[in-house]
Amino acid sequence: MNQTLEEFIACAEKKIYPSSEYVEEPGFEHLYVRFGKTYIEGQWYQRILTIANVQAEEPGQGTFTKFIQRIKQDWPDVGIYVECVLNPRFAAWLVRNGFSTVTLTGQSFYWLVEGNK
């Protein structure tokens, strides 16, 4: 059994190097995340939750929206990086919801909080 997101972040915060793992999260078939230092647009940022692989059990039903809202509420000092988005509808959703597009790739997106450099 995989850790919950809460368990994963709590363990990852104690480590010096980035951590990665599939986590258990309601509404998702699978969710692979990393936590730690991340290089975005030519700068290093601390405390970034990278969403590397995600599949909702029922796409289009608000599962990811609720997930992002919970991250922002429960960990207000953590930035979010969504890598390698291949679904145009999902990419458009990220932009509509305040994520910036990574200039170099055009397929990854980020949302940063003030002061996590």
Measure the CA–CA gap between 67 and 26, rounded to whole angstroms: 9
Q: What is the pLDDT of residue 115?
A: 65
CB 24 within 8 A of CB 2: yes
Give the residue-averaged pLDDT of 7-21: 82
Measure the CA–CA gap between 39 and 79, rounded to whole angstroms: 12
Report phi then psi at 72, rounded to 5: -65, -35
Question: Domains in the chain, start-ordered, CATH in brackets?
Answer: 5-111 (3.40.630)
pLDDT tens figures, 64-102: 999 999 999 999 999 999 999 999 999 999 999 999 999
pTM of structure: 0.91
Quick one: how far is CA 39 from the chain centroid? Answer: 14
Measure the CA–CA gap between 31 and 19, rounded to whole angstroms: 14
